[in-house]
Amino acid sequence: MTTPVLRVLPQADLRGADLRGQDLAGRDLRGAHLEEADLRGVELSGADLTGADLRGCRADGAGFASARLDGAVLCGASLVGASFTGASLTNTSFQTCDLTDAFLVAADLTHADLASANLTRADFGRSRLDDAVFRDADLTGTRFRGATGYTHVNWSGVNILAADLDGAHLFRRHVSDELYLEEFRNQSRANAWIYRAWSLTSDCGRSMARWMAFTGALTVAFAVVYALLPIDYGEHRTWLSPLYFSVVTLTTLGFGDALPTDIPSQVAVMLEVVLGYLMLGGLISILSNKMARRA
């Protein structure tokens, strides 16, 4: 027998209640306790469930369109075929939920946690995924067409090849890169350190701006070194000469018009020349990757 709900107040205690088929659209359910409640087929569109506790509830086929579930907890809930179209799901916890065939189109999932959730054939089209967690989620047939913010998501442990990526090719490429990098850095401690340096200097070969910034910082650092070492700049030395010499040495690979006059300064110049080759090689690599045909 279903539990009659004539009026629902914030922080209402509906633990284990049978609410099947009821219309709770637009109701104020902030902080409500709905643990283990039966919400199958319940209409909750536009309802405010901010901070509500729905752990272990059964809400198959329920309608949460345009509802607010910010900070709500739905761990272990059954949400098969539920609709969250346009819902606000920021900081919502869906850990271990069953969201098979669920609709999360145009939903805001910023900081949402979907770790180990079953997302088989779920639709995240045009949803916002900034800083969400999909760790170890089942993405079999899951759709992400038009989703945004996926570059800031934790995709650890997912099988991206199982997802339905029609119309989401940039998404596929990014997630595949992230999974490759995760495997690479977990291979060994040395790989972990290489990954840190790689990420810091160029976002693992994906950011030309970061590589150029690193190159610029290196150039300035050598300019400071040259200002402290005996370098013969000729008759027209200025305050800019150390930076000028550093730029020329790095970009022309050692064909500068100033002369290091002792061993430490010669070592510094040789080191910058070697690094200049590496910087140029890295720049060409990133540029070719940016301009090459992508698949």
pLDDT above 70 (res 200): yes
Query: What domains are defined for the chain?
Result: 193-290 (1.10.287.70)
Cα–Cα distance, 180 to 156 (Å, whole number):
10
Sign of torsion, CA 164 170 175 176? positive
Instruction: Write the pLDDT tens digit of every residue in 271-290.
Output: 999 999 999 999 999 988 88
Q: Is the pLDDT of residue 2 over 80?
A: no
What's the CA gap between 121 and 140, in Å, rounded? 6
pLDDT tier for residue 4 given thresholds of 50, 70 and 90: low
Tell which residue, 285, 281, 247, 245, has the closest CA to residue 265. 245
The per-residue pLDDT for 3 is 56
Whose tokens are 């709900």? That residue is 5
Cα(19)–Cα(64) distance, rounded to whole angstroms?
Answer: 14
Query: pLDDT exceeding 90 applies to what percent of the chain?
Result: 81
Q: How confident is the model at residue 6 (pLDDT cuts 50, 70, 90)?
A: very low
For residue 48, pLDDT beyond 70: yes
Is the pTM higher than 0.85? The answer reads no
244-269 confidence digits (pLDDT tens)? 999 998 888 666 678 888 999 999 99
Segment 23-35 mean pLDDT: 95
Contacts of 14 (CB under 8 A, 6+ apart): 3, 5, 8, 32, 33, 34, 37
- What is the number of residues in the chain? 295
How crowded is the C-beta side of 8, counted as CA atoms within 13 Å?
Answer: 27
User: Which residue, 79, 68, 208, 139, is CA-closest to 147?
Assistant: 139
- Tens of pLDDT, residues 133-192: 999 999 999 999 999 999 999 999 999 989 999 988 889 989 999 999 999 999 999 999
- With bands split at pLDDT 50, 70 and 90, how would you rate the model's confidence at 8? low
What pLDDT is stored for residue 294 in this prediction? 62
Angle CA(39)–CA(49)–CA(9) in degrees, nearest 5?
Answer: 90
The token pair at 187 is: 């291979």
| pLDDT score of 266 | 92
